Every structure is written in structure tokens, then in C-alpha cells.
């Protein structure tokens, strides 16, 4: 199966949207070849601004440009976008509700060999806690393209998490993204796995294997972390007796917490097991790390089989 | 306005800002007083292309208060210019009020949400860059404190402004030499400020007295003519200026004047409005 990284989809989509929306500008912090904003820079050089290795200023400059009607996409690695510039995003962007799109590429341990300093595993948590912020983490090429299209039409601060390595295409061109809506990629009655990003593929692999054992798994793609699809979570809790979340992120604060909050507040009373990181990772190839930390299809299969 | 009118205006606006802070019993007295003359020269000296009836006028110039804690100073000015009703000053920092403790963009005339030091100048750079991109001849002014220069983000912003040759950006540094914990020199020395900005590619216009309205006015005129580089007007000021007993005192950084202090300070300023 053809694998494409969501960052590549983002790079393509940004160029397509750049032709359509003349007020899109892209800013990067010396990682434009990695985040793929370089494609936009090559096409629209006057609308591309390299801000150097200075993420705090990049976010502030993006805020200023949005105040003059631009749609700034400010991109860097997820760890620096969400971490280094968190307070700039909170105070200069989200509080005044500005139309700044923060793009964090290289999310999760899939980032690989660069190691823990470059693996954002807390970004979904700290971004979704900020009022006014929308948080999206697409699962594949087509979803990423649709999310970027939506972000251009939408108004308001948004965090887009991308991944470094290729992931199989789950969707095709006809896919429609709706914020606040999860997508049932595969249905089943025995258990539900809520997954996000590359983990949607791992969940699908686990579900496929479980189906050969007669276990029917519902896999929900929760690309829209904030707003989150409460209805789908509660409907799944009624439909299936076991619930799981799967994310390339700390199990605290991210998708797992978001789902747990919905279940607890509704008094759903259905057990939930969170699959993800519970500590720091290490260097290694992304796929090897997924295996090591139980985030690949096999790891998800084993985690859900235990319950 | 001529210089004598500017002086009277500055005295009146000091009264307005002090009164607002006093009513709130909370706010930054020292830093609001130290930058008042810079702001009066900018807003009443004919430099800002603005229209209080059209706060979002698409040909206006921008001002970003990077040292957001001097909010009462800019609020007093915007109220006086008619951006919002003067009665709003009576509710500064109160629940449900328009005027928040630090500036927010929803307030007519406020161009950026600031208060977290170091962030406003980046927003000003973004505005200036967007004006350049749109080939619009609009100025962006910003005002920083000298203590604020300790924030690393300031130097990221300063670097980017000269990299992109933002000659439409003019920054004031309100050098009152004091910050919350003491003198800037003792807390974390930021000198030599002018040399730092120059080495980062900025044109620096040093003032002798940051309260001399004539000198400030001349400096802004000069700054507007500079090409291909951003300009910093370095203004030595006195924290608490205009309130004699508070002048140069660290203790008046973030406190309101008491009723007793107001009764001493206000009549002195009222004399200066005449």
C-alpha cells in the first residue's frame, strides 16, 4: 500500500490553497524542508517568511499578520510549535482569537532517530487546553488535505499536528472532513478503538487481526480532538462493551483523556483502556519505536486482547 | 497641537490614568506615567493616521503597547480621542468591564493583545511585515520598557525587523531604569541598549529627555524619514513622572495611589493643565 506522510499532504495542500486564497502566508522556523512549507515558499516567495530558529517571535509575527487580514500558517516541529511557543500561542493568538494556523510537524515518537527532544508527545494535551483553539490530527493523506482546506475556510486559531513518516492511505478523494465529528472507519459490536493520526492505521491492523478471531472492532478516527465528537463517543459506549483509545502521545492529557472526560461526565460507566505513551521514548526508526512501545498494529492487538 | 498644548494634554491624561488606577485600586502607576509623554507626542503630535469613529479604518497606522502594563496611559488617550466613552475609565480592571488589566484587541483603538512582556514587538513586526507585503504606506509604532528588553523574544523580534528591513516600524524604549525587583541594572543589566539595537541593524535615535515633548516630536519626524531599517527611539524617562513623590521609586511600579496621595498629586497636575 502506498504510504504518504501527512506533512507531505500538508505541503501540497498549502500550495493549492495558496493559489486560491491570496491572503495565505506561510512562516517557518528554519525547518521548511521538513514541514514542507518550502513548497509554498517556492511557489509564492513573496508570501513565505523564514523567521529563523525563533519560534516565539514566529508566532507573534503570525499574530500581527493575522491582525491585518492574512491567514498565517506558522510551521515548525510539533515540540517547538506547541512547547517553546505555548505562551505566545495562548496570549498572542488564542486569547484575541486570531486566525493563526499553528502547524506542528513531526508529532509523536514516529519522529524517530532524533530522539526525545524532538518527539512531541504532549502537544495535543497542551494545545487542547487553550480556549478558542481547535486541534486536529489527520490520519492520512486525504484527511490531511481536507483538514487544511477546512482550516483555510474556517476562522480562528487552530493547531494541526502532522507526522513525519508515511502512513497508508485510508481514505480517497471523496473523503469529507467535518470538525467536531469522528469518523467510523470500520464498524463492529465487540469493542471500540478511538484512534488518532497514524494510530488509526495501527487500530485498523489490530481490528483486521481480531476479526479473524471473530472479534468485531469498531474503529473511530478522532482527527478532531478539539472539538471532540461527544455523540460518537457516547454512542460507541452504548454499542460496545469495551472502549480503547490509541494515540502516539502521552496517555495523559491527549485523546485518551478527552474521551475519558466525555465518558465520565456522562456517567457512561464503560471501562476505558488508554493506549499510548506513558513516559519518554528514545531514538530509533519510527516503525521500530512503534513496535517497542506497542503502538503498531501488533501492539494495539495485544493491548486490547488483554482486556 | 503646539508644544504648550501637548504639555497640558499630557497633564490631563496623567490625571485621567491616575484616577482610573485609583478607582480600580489596582494597576501600574509608575510605568504609565513614564511613557505618557511619548504617547502624547505620538497621538497628538499629528503622527498617527487614525480615526476614532472608524477604529478599523483600513488606512490607519498601528500602535502596539508592548509594555502592556502601561494600559491606563493608552486607555486614557483612546478615551480622550473618542474611541470609547470616557466613563469606561471608571471601570478599569473590574468584572464585566471593557478595559482589562492589560490591553486586548476588542477595545476600540487597541491593535494587539499584550501584557506578557516581549510579545507585543513581535506582533508589531507582523503588522509591519503585512503592510510591506500589501505595499501599503502605513506605520507601525510600538513601545517597550527597558526591563522588557530582558525577554529573549524581544531580540528575536528585533533581529527579524532588520532582516526584513522594516522601515515602517518605529519602536520607543521607555527607559525608566526600574523594574519590579529593583533597578534594571541590578536585576539584569540591559545596557548598552543603543549599541545592542544598532548591532542588530536598527537606526537608533537617542533622546536627552524622554519627557521633552518638543524633542520627542522632532525624533518621530526624523524616524519617519529613515529608510530600509527599523528605528528605535531611546527615551530616558522617570518612572512615576508627574507624581513627585513617586518619581524614580520602585515601590510605585504596580500600585494605585491612595486617596491621600491623590489629593497631593492631582492638584499639581491640574495646575499644569492650565
Domain termination site, one of A144, A168, A192: A168
Our measurement of the distance from residue A165's CA atom to the centroid of its chain's CA atoms, rounded to an integer in Å, reads 13
In a domain, A174, yes or no: no
Give SS3 for B13.
helix
Residue-range definition of the domain harbouring residue A194: 183-306
Asked whether this complex has an ipTM greater than 0.90, the answer is yes
Q: Mean of the pLDDT values across residues B6-10?
A: 98
Residues A153 and A222 in one domain: no
Does A47 contact B at CB distance below 8 Å?
yes
In a domain, A240, yes or no: yes
CATH topology of domain B3-272: Rossmann fold (3.40.50)
Residues A160 and A194 in one domain: no
> Which residue on chain A is closest to B131 by alpha carbon?
A68
Tens of pLDDT, residues A129-184: 999 999 999 999 999 999 999 999 999 999 999 999 999 999 999 999 999 999 99
Residues A64 and A103 in one domain: yes
Q: Mean of the pLDDT values across residues A103-123?
A: 98
Our measurement of the distance from residue B14's CA atom to the centroid of its chain's CA atoms, rounded to an integer in Å, reads 13
Helices (H), chain B: 3-24, 29-34, 36-44, 71-81, 119-133, 152-163, 184-188, 193-199, 213-225, 259-272
HEC per residue, A143-184:
HHHHHHHHHHHCCCCEEEECCCCCEECCCCCCCCCCCCCCEE
CATH of the domain at A122: 3.40.50.970
Q: In angstroms, rounded to a whole number, what is the distance separating the alpha carbons of residues A305 and B257? A: 68
Nearest-10 Cα torsion for B26, B124, A37, A177: 50
In a domain, A273, yes or no: yes
Our measurement of the distance from residue A248's CA atom to the centroid of its chain's CA atoms, rounded to an integer in Å, reads 9
Tens of pLDDT, residues B40-59: 999 999 999 999 999 999 99
For residue A25, the chain B residues in CB contact (below 8 A) are 130, 133
- At residue A192 the predicted structure's pLDDT band, cuts being 50, 70 and 90, is very high
> How big is the CA angle at B61 (ends B57 and B66), to the nearest 5 degrees?
120
Q: In angstroms, rounded to a whole number, what is the distance separating the alpha carbons of residues A289 and A246? A: 15
| Closest to A75 in 3D by CA, of A110, A100, A111, A112 | A100
- List Cβ neighbours of A199 (8 Å cut-off, separation of 6 or more): A246, A247, A248, A275, A276, A295, A300
Residues A119 and A242 in one domain: no
Q: Which of A47, A57, A92 to mutate to test the interface with B (most CBs of B within 10 A)?
A: A57
Q: Mean of the pLDDT values across residues A217-241?
A: 98
pLDDT of residue A174: 98
Alpha carbon distance, N-terminus to C-terminus of chain A: 30
Residues A164 and A28 in one domain: yes
Residues A164 and A189 in one domain: no
Residues A226 and A271 in one domain: yes
Q: Which of A22, A68, A80 to mutate to test the interface with B (most CBs of B within 10 A)?
A: A68
Domain termination site, one of A126, A141, A168: A168
Residue A1 has pLDDT above 90, yes or no: no
Phi and psi, residue A191, nearest 5°: -160, 160
For chains A and B, CB pairs below 8 A equal 106
Q: In angstroms, rounded to a whole number, what is the distance separating the alpha carbons of residues A105 and A10? A: 9
> Which residue on chain A is closest to B56 by alpha carbon?
A68
Helix, strand, coil percentages in chain B from 3-state DSSP, rounded to 5: 50, 10, 40
Q: What is the number of other CB atoms lying within 10 angstroms of the CB of residue B10?
A: 26
Q: Which of B118, B122, B163 to mutate to test the interface with A (most CBs of A within 10 A)?
A: B122
Does A66 contact B at CB distance below 8 Å?
yes
CATH of the domain at A230: 3.40.50.920
In a domain, A173, yes or no: no
Task: Tell me if A69 and B105 make a contact (CB, 8 A cut-off).
Answer: no
pLDDT of residue A307: 85
Q: pTM of the prediction? A: 0.97
Q: In angstroms, rounded to a whole number, what is the distance separating the alpha carbons of residues B178 and B184? A: 5
DSSP structure class, residue A107: B
Tell me the pLDDT of chain B averaged across its residues. 98
CA distance B91 to chain A (A): 21
Domain count across chain A: 2
Residues A297 and A159 in one domain: no
Residues A135 and A87 in one domain: yes
Percent with pLDDT over 90 in chain A: 99
- Containing B26, the helix (H) or strand (E) segment is none
Q: Which residues of A are catalytic?
A: 55
- At residue A2 the predicted structure's pLDDT band, cuts being 50, 70 and 90, is confident
Domain termination site, one of A115, A135, A168: A168
Tell me the pLDDT of chain A averaged across its residues. 98
Give SS3 for B231.
strand
In a domain, A175, yes or no: no
Q: Is B81 exposed, middle or buried (0-12, 13-18, 19+ CB in 10 A)?
A: middle
Provide the residue ranges of all domains of chain B, joining segments of one domain with +.
Answer: 3-272
pLDDT of residue B128: 98
Which residue from B113, B128, B133 is facing A91, i.e. has the nearest CB?
A: B113
**Beta strand pairing call for B62-65 and A242-250:** unpaired
Residues A18 and A156 in one domain: yes
Task: Tell me if A67 and B134 make a contact (CB, 8 A cut-off).
Answer: no
Amino acid at each position: 500500500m502506498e504510504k504518504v506522510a501527512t506533512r507531505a499532504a500538508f505541503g501540497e495542500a498549502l500550495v493549492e490553497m495558496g493559489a486560491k486564497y491570496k491572503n495565505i502566508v506561510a512562516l517557518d522556523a528554519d525547518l521548511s524542508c521538513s514541514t514542507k512549507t518550502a513548497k509554498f515558499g517556492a511557489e509564492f516567495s513573496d508570501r513565505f517568511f523564514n523567521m529563523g530558529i525563533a519560534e516565539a517571535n514566529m508566532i507573534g509575527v503570525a499574530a500581527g499578520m493575522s491582525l491585518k487580514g492574512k491567514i498565517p500558517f506558522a510551521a515548525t516541529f510539533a515540540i517547538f510549535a506547541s512547547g517553546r511557543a505555548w505562551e505566545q500561542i495562548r496570549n498572542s493568538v488564542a486569547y484575541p482569537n486570531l486566525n493563526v494556523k499553528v502547524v506542528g510537524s513531526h508529532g509523536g515518537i514516529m519522529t524517530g532517530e532524533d530522539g526525545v527532544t524532538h518527539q512531541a508527545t504532549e502537544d495535543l494535551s497542551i494545545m487542547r487546553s487553550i480556549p478558542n483553539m481547535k486541534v486536529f490530527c489527520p490520519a492520512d493523506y486525504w484527511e490531511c488535505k481536507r483538514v487544511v482546506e477546512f482550516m483555510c475556510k474556517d476562522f480562528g486559531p487552530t493547531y494541526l499536528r502532522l507526522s513525519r513518516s508515511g502512513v497508508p492511505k485510508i481514505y480517497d478523494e471523496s473523503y469529507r472532513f467535518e470538525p467536531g465529528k469522528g469518523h467510523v472507519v470500520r464498524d463492529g459490536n465487540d469493542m471500540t478503538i478511538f484512534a488518532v493520526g497514524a494510530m488509526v492505521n495501527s487500530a485498523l491492523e489490530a481490528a483486521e487481526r481480531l476479526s479473524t478471531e471473530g472479534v468485531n472492532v469498531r474503529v473511530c478516527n478522532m482527527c478532531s480532538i478539539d472539538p471532540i465528537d461527544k455523540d460518537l463517543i457516547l454512542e460507541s459506549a452504548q454499542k460496545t462493551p469495551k472502549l480503547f483509545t490509541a494515540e502516539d502521545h502521552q496517555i495523559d492529557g491527549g485523546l485518551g483523556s478527552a474521551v475519558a472526560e466525555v465518558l465520565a461526565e456522562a456517567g457512561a460507566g464503560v471501562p476505558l483502556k488508554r493506549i499510548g505513551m506513558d513516559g519518554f521514548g528514545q531514538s530509533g526508526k519510527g516503525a521500530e519505536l512503534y513496535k517497542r512501545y506497542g503502538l503498531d498494529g501488533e501492539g494495539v492487538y495485544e493491548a486490547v486482547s488483554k482486556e | 497641537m503646539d508644544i504648550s498644548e501637548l504639555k497640558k494634554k499630557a497633564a490631563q491624561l496623567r490625571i485621567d490614568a491616575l484616577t482610573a488606577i485609583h478607582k480600580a485600586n489596582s494597576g501600574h502607576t509608575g510605568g504609565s506615567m513614564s511613557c505618557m509623554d511619548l504617547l502624547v507626542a505620538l497621538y497628538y503630535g499629528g503622527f498617527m493616521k487614525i480615526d476614532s469613529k472608524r477604529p478599523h479604518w483600513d488606512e490607519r497606522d498601528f500602535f502596539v503597547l508592548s509594555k502592556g502594563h502601561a494600559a491606563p496611559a493608552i486607555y486614557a488617550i483612546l478615551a480622550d480621542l473618542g474611541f470609547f466613552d470616557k466613563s469606561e475609565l471608571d471601570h478599569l480592571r473590574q468584572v464585566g468591564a471593557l478595559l482589562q488589566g492589560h490591553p486586548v484587541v476588542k477595545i476600540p483603538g487597541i491593535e494587539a493583545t499584550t501584557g506578557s512582556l516581549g510579545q507585543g514587538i513581535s506582533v508589531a513586526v507582523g503588522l509591519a511585515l503585512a503592510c510591506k507585503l500589501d505595499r501599503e504606506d502605513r506605520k507601525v509604532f510600538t513601545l517597550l520598557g527597558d526591563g522588557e528588553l530582558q525577554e529573549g523574544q524581544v531580540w528575536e523580534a528585533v533581529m527579524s525587523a532588520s532582516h526584513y528591513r522594516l522601515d515602517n516600524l518605529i519602536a520607543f524604549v521607555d527607559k525608566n531604569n526600574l523594574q519590579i525587583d529593583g533597578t534594571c541594572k541590578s536585576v539584569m543589566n540591559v545596557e548598552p541598549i543603543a549599541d545592542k539595537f544598532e548591532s542588530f541593524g536598527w537606526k537608533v535615535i537617542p533622546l536627552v529627555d524622554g519627557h521633552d515633548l518638543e524633542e520627542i516630536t522632532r525624533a518621530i519626524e526624523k524616524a519617519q524619514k529613515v529608510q530600509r531599517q527599523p528605528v528605535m527611539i531611546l527615551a530616558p524617562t522617570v518612572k512615576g513622572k508627574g507624581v513627585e513623590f513617586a518619581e524614580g521609586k520602585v515601590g510605585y511600579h504596580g500600585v494605585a495611589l491612595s486617596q491621600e496621595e491623590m489629593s497631593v498629586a492631582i492638584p499639581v497636575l491640574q495646575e499644569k493643565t492650565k
